[in-house]
Structure 1
Amino acid sequence: MKVSREWLNEWIQIDVPIDELAEKITRGGIEVDDVIDYTAEVKHLVVGYVERVEQHPEADRLKICQVDTGGETNQIICGAPNVEADSYVVVCKVGGRLPGGIKIKRAKLRGEVSEGMICSLEELGIPEDYVPQEYQNGIFMFPEEKTAGSNALEALLLDDQVMEFDLTPNRKDALSMAGAAYEVRALFGGEVVLPEHEVTEKETAEDGTLEIRNEDAAAVPYYGARVVENVKIAPAPAWMQLRLIKAGIRPINNVVDISNYVLLEFGQPLHMFDRDHIGSDQIVTRYAEEDEKMTTLDGKERHLESQDIVITNGREPIALAGVMGGAFSEVTDETTNVVIESAVFNPVSIRRTSSRLNLRSEASTRFEKGVSHEFVLKALDRAALLLEQYAGGTVSTPVISDGALELEDTTIDISEQFINAHLGMSLTTEEIQESLSKLGLKATAKGEGLEVSIPSRRDDLKIKEDITEEVARIYGYDALPSSLPEYTKITPGRLTDEQTKVRIIRHQLESLGLSQSINYALTSREKAAQFSGPEDALELLMPMSEDHAVLRKSMIPHLVDNVVYNKNRQQKNVQLYEIGKIFVSNGTTVLPDEEEMLAGILTGDMNRTDWLGTKVPADFYAAKGIVESILEKLGLEGNVRYEQVARFDELHPGRSADVLLDNETIGFIGELHPKYARENDLERTAVFEVNLDRLLAVKQGNVVYEQLSRYPSITRDIALVVDASVAADTLVRTIEAAARKYLVDVYVFDVYEGENMEAGRKSVALRLTYLNKENTLTDEEIEKLHTPVLEALEESGAQIR
């Protein structure tokens, strides 16, 4: 919401510098995000009267203008196509300055002297989107007579500063000049003066010929209308156009501009229908029928749903309530009779419709939050009065309506003790009443408490805590007492167990050379199907683009994109990790499961040292080693095992494995499938992804320390011939199950396939370590321990070499 200081002064007189005004409003709870000062850097800007215009003899697009700038006539060369004699324009004189630091000097253009510059609105700092159509690509000309040489900024109402409110969702009352005025009154005092809105009704032929009917009171609690006849479509007065421009709305014509102007005044959206194009003598409001269609003002055919509220002529929709009007009933240059709509619509329905159709406007924004009932009729009368004054219309009698407005104040009971207990203050009842009265809230003593009356413009106040907050911000947050906490109650801050573990993981990964990557949780449908199960990804209703249409089910595709991006910029050795969430869909009616994951990707060479000629290839074993180092840091290495499996098509079938924690699959490690790698222009690349929630959920007990054994350990090597499909992990588990005691380690130190080995078979060599911490093991004891292990291996199908 943009609030003009000049316009605000018509509602309430406030004589403080703009910086002080903005600062106090911000401290009062409404943040002033920016202050636009149209006077900044501007110098020597006056109203000029163009006496005559002649064609430049040396340039087809330039004209020589003789301009009266107040007591003297200056020759100014102008290239605007719309400049004409007997018009009043904005002139920046020689020595003057325009926004952006542009200095105006005496110049010679194609042999002719130019003493000044005739200005367009864009050159005065007005954004092009807000400039009226008739002045685009040309200079601005005053529609009425002005005094040559007078201050042009004052004539343009630009001797002004505009505050831009950054409103929180609950402060819809400040989406109008009325709301801004009441806020200023609360902070600075004074009285709010509403603009003239009483209309003189006249008997006309239209009187009594229009009927209003609401078919669903929940959809449209109130619908009011007035008919104004014999209007003449023309530009709105300059002062109205310029106030709209400062508020960020482009002027169109007097009828449309009046509806927008009143919207900004009272926060009550209006709609203007062409009475002769409605198509009947009745206006009926209802919910749309399923698959009903209508064409809106933007020329697009809209497919409606049963939750949409429509304004109809009894047969077909003529407007989408609170969102956009219909094409065939819009106001045009030929319009002579106008129906003004001022209504209250169901906020939830308006929000759903505008969101589904992506039609957000000044009107829908206000209807979504709920309009103030007390301004519905005032806005209707104000618009009718302005149409009478500036469009030459005649107002028919009376107001035509259906439904009822809730004009009675609601009440909230509260006590002095409640407010003081929540604020830590010692305010008296009189001080509380005074603070609330500044907001226009009447607080009446009732027993030991207060009864606060809430007008509809502040229907955001619903509970006692809301009243407490209003007292605090009006009395002044700076006045709230401060105190130091009692030292005896202070406890030292500490990280949670999960936060500590995440920091350990980050430190370990970065110490191994990986860099952190952060990606969007949104991805494309194609990428969402990669490195994940067959479940459908959860789709967004209104995605920003096809690349951000669904929630990700794996973090690997984005990490692949990150590596490709770096590789295309000559970075061949890339190691990245990411900690983030994936989303498992539970259908469109239930929220998805969010799972915290840890993922990584390795390509190129790792730990490369050129002076030593050493490096580690980014392969499956490098990725597995990184995962194992993390598990070791977390104390989980004994709980995890790996199982070779070709889980996804994007992974190499022979170089990938599942990660199992207590026999539950929590992730995978693997190299990219060569075909998938080639499609992404990558060399050998390894990835991993594990469920971080499962890792963090494992609680570690107390750390137990043991004295180092004084007795030596004994090793035995075993060479086995097994089928090539048998995993080394299977052999390790067989050995661990067969060893009754004293076995402390099993290490695979060689795997061989090739020459002198039978096809489909391989040789696996393992080293077993035995240790008795209480005595030295003898050969006889070792033989008794080792023989059952050999027997178990032979029973499992292994051949001992």
Structure 2
Amino acid sequence: MRVSKEWLNEWIPVDVSIDELAERITRGGIEVDDVIDYTEGIKNLVVGYVESVEQHPEADRLKICQVNTGEETNQIVCGAPNVKADSYVIVSRVGGRLPGGIKIKRAKLRGEVSEGMICSLEELGIPEDYIPKEYQNGIFMFNEAKNIGTDALSALYLDDQVMDFDLTPNRKDALSMAGAAYETRALFGGEVTRPKSPLTEHEDNGSAAFSIRNEDADAVPYYGARIVRDVEIKPAPTWMQVRLIKAGIRPINNVVDISNYVLLEFGQPLHMFDRDKIGSDEIVTRFAGQDEEMTTLDDKIRKLNDSDIVITNGREPIALAGVMGGDFSEVTESTTTVLIESALFNPVSIRKTSNRLNLRSEASARFEKGVSHEFVLEALDRAAYLLEKYAGGRVTGSVISDGELNLENSRISVTGSFINNRLGMDLSTEEIVGSLSKLGLETEVRGETLNISIPSRRDDLKIREDITEEVARIYGYDALPSSLPEYTSITPGKLTDEQKKVRIIRHQLESLGLTQAINYALTSREKSKQFTERTEGLELLMPMSEDHAVLRNSMIPHLIDNAVYNVNRQQKDVQLYEMGRVFVSRGEGNQPEEIEMLGGVLTGEMNRTEWLGTSVPADFYAAKGIVDSIFEKLGVTDNISYRQSEGFREMHPGRTADIYFGEEKIGFAGEIHPKFAEDNDLNRTAVFEISIDQLLSVKNGIIVYEQLSKYPTITRDIALVVEQSVTADALMNTIRKAAKKYLEDVFVFDVYEGENVADGMKSVAIRLTYLNREQTLTDEEIEAVHSPVLEALEQDGASIR
């Protein structure tokens, strides 16, 4: 909400600087995000009168104007297409300045002297989007006569500063000049003066009666209207246009501008219908039928839901309540009779309709928060009066309405001790009542109880704590006493077990040469189906782009994109990891399941040592080694196993393994499919992804350190011939189960397929390490332990080479 100080002074005079005003309002709880000063950088700007206009002899697009600036008549060369004689314009004299540091000097344009500059609104710092259409490509001209030579900023109502309120959702009352005035009154004192609307009601002269009917009181609790005849469509007066511009609204014509102007005054949205185009003598409000259609003012056909509220002529919709009007009942240049709508609509329905159709407007922003009941009729009368005064209209009959307009104030009861206990203060009843009266809240004191009357413009106040906040806000947050917290025991600040493990994971990955990446949680529909068995993702209702339309199901697609981005920029060796969440859809209307994941991508070469000519390829074993190192750091290696898997269609079917924690699959590691790598301009690339929620939840016990053994280890190598389908992990598990004691380590050091090995078979060489920590092992002791191992392997189908 943009609040003009010049306009605010009409509601309540405030004799302080804009900086002090903005500071006090911010301290009172409404943040003033910015102050726009329309006088900044402007000097020597006056109202001029164009006496004559002639064509420039040397330029088709330039005109020579004789402009009276009060003290003298100057020749000014102007290139605006709309400049004309007998018009009042804005002139920057020689020696003047315009925003942006522009200095106005005497000059010659194509041989003709130009003493000054006739200005457009854009040259005064007004954004193009707010300038009336008739002035967007030319200079500004006043609609009425002005005193020549007077200050142009004052004549334009731009001798002003505008505060930009950054409002929280609960402060809907400040979405109007009325709300800003009452807030100013609370902070500075004084009285608020509402604008008067002394309209004249004329008889209907026997024309057809008009009626209003609300079919559903939940949808439309109250609907009021007035009819104004003999309206002349023309530009609104300059002061109204400029006030709309300062509020961020582009002027259109007097009828539309009046509806917007009253909306800014009272926060009550209005709608103007062309009475003759409604198509009947009644208005009927109701919920729309499912899949009912209507064409809105932007010429789009809208398919409606049964939660949308529509204004109809008894047969078909003529407006989408609180959001946008229909195309055939809009006010045009030929309109002579206007029907003004002022109503209450169901806020939830308006919010759903506005969000679903992505139609955000000044009106919907207010209706979806709920408008003040006390301004509904006042705004209606105000608009009718302004049409009467500035459009030549004739107000016909009284207010036509249906529904109940509840104007009774709500009440909240609270005690002074309740307020003081929560603020840590010792305010008297008189001080509390005084603070509330500044807000315009009437208070009845009965003993210790304060009965507070709450007008509908402040219906955000609902409970006693709200009253406490208002007292603190108006009395002054700076006056609140400070105190140290009381405590009986002191606990040291420290990381949680999960936070420690996350740091361990990051430190380990970065020590291995990986760099952390941070990506959006949103991805495209296509990528949401990659590297996952889930085919459906949770889609946004109104995505900003197709590339960010679905919550991700996997970390890998974005990491692949990161690798491609770097490779395309000559960074061939890329190792990245990311920790974040993926989102599993639980169906429409339900919150998704969020899973903490760790993902990584490796491409190119790792651990390159140029002077030795060595490096490690980014393959399956590199990815598995990185993942194993994490498990080792977390102390969960004993529960981890790998099982060969074809993985997803994006993965290499022979170089992918699923990772299990116990019997639960927690991720995978492997190389991406060569075709997928080629499509993404990548060479051999490995990836891994692990669900770390369960790993982080494992509680590690106390670390027990053992003294290094002073006795030697003894190794035994065995070569086993097994079927190609048998995994090395299965053989190692058999060995561990069979060796009851002394087995210190077991690992595979060779796998062979080819000559001297039968087809469909392979040779696996395994080294076993034995150790007795109390004495040196003898051959007899080793044989007693090693023989059961060989027997167990043979029983599982392995043969000793």
TM category, shorter: over 0.9
Aligned match of 2:653: 653
How far off its partner does 1:237 sit?
0.5
Q: Distance in 2 between matches of 1:590 and 1:60?
A: 66
Contact 1:442–1:452 (Cα < 8 Å) also in 2:
yes
Aligned match of 1:476: 476
Work out whether 1:554 is the aligned partner of 2:554.
yes
Contact 2:435–2:471 (Cα < 8 Å) also in 1:
yes
Evaluate the alpha carbon distance shift between residue 595 and residue 223 of structure 1 in structure 2; reply closer, same or farther with a 3 A threshold: same
Aligned match of 2:508: 508
Aligned match of 1:26: 26
Partner SS state of residue 201, structure 2: coil
Work out whether 1:8 is the aligned partner of 2:3.
no
Aligned match of 1:36: 36
Aligned match of 2:245: 245
Q: Distance in 2 between matches of 1:447 and 1:727?
A: 86
Contact 1:33–1:166 (Cα < 8 Å) also in 2:
yes
Q: Which moved more, 1:233-242 or 1:503-512?
A: 503-512
Q: Distance in 2 between matches of 1:741 and 1:490?
A: 48
Work out whether 1:381 is the aligned partner of 2:411.
no
Q: Distance in 2 between matches of 1:455 and 1:512?
A: 66
Q: Distance in 2 between matches of 1:277 and 1:674?
A: 66
Aligned match of 1:498: 498
How far off its partner does 1:208 sit?
7.1
Partner SS state of residue 381, structure 1: helix
How far off its partner does 1:706 sit?
2.5
Aligned match of 1:686: 686
Contact 1:342–1:377 (Cα < 8 Å) also in 2:
yes
Partner SS state of residue 676, structure 1: helix
Q: Distance in 2 between matches of 1:198 and 1:461?
A: 32
Aligned match of 1:212: 212
Q: Distance in 2 between matches of 1:207 and 1:441?
A: 45
Aligned match of 1:159: 159
Q: Distance in 2 between matches of 1:788 and 1:651?
A: 40
Aligned match of 2:621: 621
Matches within 5 A, 1:38-437: 38-205=38-205, 209-437=209-437
Partner SS state of residue 432, structure 1: helix
Q: Which amino acid aligns with 1:352?
A: K
Q: Distance in 2 between matches of 1:366 and 1:488?
A: 49
Q: Which amino acid aligns with 2:564?
A: V
Q: Distance in 1 between matches of 2:455 and 2:295?
A: 38
Q: Which amino acid aligns with 2:605?
A: D
Partner SS state of residue 105, structure 2: coil
Provide structure 1 residue ranges, at least 5 long, that are not aligned to the other structure.
none
Q: Which amino acid aligns with 1:67?
A: V
How far off its partner does 1:773 sit?
2.5
Partner SS state of residue 192, structure 1: coil
Partner SS state of residue 626, structure 2: helix
How far off its partner does 1:63 sit?
0.6
How far off its partner does 1:165 sit?
0.6
Deviations 1:675-732 (A, max 9, x none): 1100101000000000011110111122222333333322211111111221110100
Q: Which amino acid aligns with 2:546?
A: E
Aligned match of 2:670: 670
Aligned match of 1:792: 792
Partner SS state of residue 249, structure 2: coil
Q: Distance in 1 between matches of 2:360 and 2:237?
A: 27
Contact 2:45–2:93 (Cα < 8 Å) also in 1:
yes
Aligned match of 1:782: 782
Q: Which moved more, 1:500-509 or 1:253-262?
A: 500-509
Contact 1:230–1:336 (Cα < 8 Å) also in 2:
yes
Deviations 1:101-131 (A, max 9, x none): 1111110000011010000010001111111
Q: Distance in 1 between matches of 2:149 and 2:754?
A: 101
Identity of aligned residues (%): 75
Aligned match of 1:587: 587
Q: Which amino acid aligns with 2:99?
A: P
Provide structure 2 residue ranges, at least 5 long, that are not aligned to the other structure.
none
Q: Which amino acid aligns with 1:41?
A: G
Aligned match of 1:736: 736
Q: Distance in 1 between matches of 2:470 and 2:74?
A: 58
How far off its partner does 1:511 sit?
1.3
Contact 1:65–1:77 (Cα < 8 Å) also in 2:
yes
Evaluate the alpha carbon distance shift between residue 207 and residue 400 of structure 1 in structure 2; reply closer, same or farther with a 3 A threshold: farther
Contact 2:721–2:762 (Cα < 8 Å) also in 1:
yes
How far off its partner does 1:376 sit?
0.3
Evaluate the alpha carbon distance shift between residue 504 and residue 279 of structure 1 in structure 2; reply closer, same or farther with a 3 A threshold: same
Q: Distance in 2 between matches of 1:697 and 1:406?
A: 56
Evaluate the alpha carbon distance shift between residue 598 and residue 533 of structure 1 in structure 2; reply closer, same or farther with a 3 A threshold: same
Q: Which amino acid aligns with 2:645?
A: V
Contact 2:208–2:281 (Cα < 8 Å) also in 1:
no
How far off its partner does 1:611 sit?
2.3
Work out whether 1:598 is the aligned partner of 2:598.
yes
Q: Distance in 2 between matches of 1:777 and 1:489?
A: 56
Q: Which moved more, 1:476-485 or 1:85-94?
A: 476-485
Partner SS state of residue 150, structure 1: coil
Contact 1:226–1:398 (Cα < 8 Å) also in 2:
yes
Aligned match of 1:751: 751
Structure 1 outlier segments of 4+, above 4 Å: 486-490
Aligned match of 1:531: 531
Partner SS state of residue 526, structure 2: helix
Q: Distance in 1 between matches of 2:161 and 2:524?
A: 46
Q: Which amino acid aligns with 1:539?
A: E
Contact 1:121–1:140 (Cα < 8 Å) also in 2:
yes
Q: Distance in 2 between matches of 1:165 and 1:429?
A: 32
Partner SS state of residue 525, structure 1: coil
Q: Distance in 2 between matches of 1:357 and 1:237?
A: 34
How far off its partner does 1:282 sit?
0.6
Q: Which amino acid aligns with 2:239?
A: W
Q: Distance in 2 between matches of 1:543 and 1:737?
A: 55
Q: Distance in 2 between matches of 1:512 and 1:15?
A: 66
Contact 1:71–1:149 (Cα < 8 Å) also in 2:
yes
Q: Distance in 2 between matches of 1:58 and 1:333?
A: 39
Contact 2:534–2:553 (Cα < 8 Å) also in 1:
no
Matches within 5 A, 1:439-458: 439-458=439-458
Q: Distance in 1 between matches of 2:671 and 2:52?
A: 81
How far off its partner does 1:616 sit?
1.4
Q: Which amino acid aligns with 2:385?
A: L
Q: Which amino acid aligns with 1:235?
A: P
Deviations 1:345-402 (A, max 9, x none): 0000001111111111000010000000000000000000000000111111211111
Q: Distance in 2 between matches of 1:335 and 1:511?
A: 75
Q: Distance in 2 between matches of 1:198 and 1:642?
A: 85
Q: Distance in 2 between matches of 1:379 and 1:272?
A: 13
Q: Which moved more, 1:250-259 or 1:765-774?
A: 765-774
How far off its partner does 1:260 sit?
0.3
Partner SS state of residue 228, structure 1: strand
How far off its partner does 1:154 sit?
0.2
Contact 1:206–1:396 (Cα < 8 Å) also in 2:
no
Q: Distance in 1 between matches of 2:56 and 2:641?
A: 89
How far off its partner does 1:775 sit?
3.1
How far off its partner does 1:489 sit?
4.5
Contact 1:539–1:550 (Cα < 8 Å) also in 2:
yes
Deviations 1:440-459 (A, max 9, x none): 11222133221111110011
Q: Distance in 1 between matches of 2:330 and 2:281?
A: 16
Q: Distance in 2 between matches of 1:208 and 1:343?
A: 23
TM-score (norm 2): 0.99
Partner SS state of residue 418, structure 1: helix
Q: Which amino acid aligns with 2:689?
A: E
Q: Distance in 1 between matches of 2:133 and 2:525?
A: 43
Q: Distance in 2 between matches of 1:789 and 1:331?
A: 94
Partner SS state of residue 703, structure 1: coil
Q: Which amino acid aligns with 2:796?
A: S
Partner SS state of residue 563, structure 2: helix
RMSD: 1.2
Q: Distance in 1 between matches of 2:741 and 2:510?
A: 39
Q: Distance in 2 between matches of 1:787 and 1:604?
A: 45
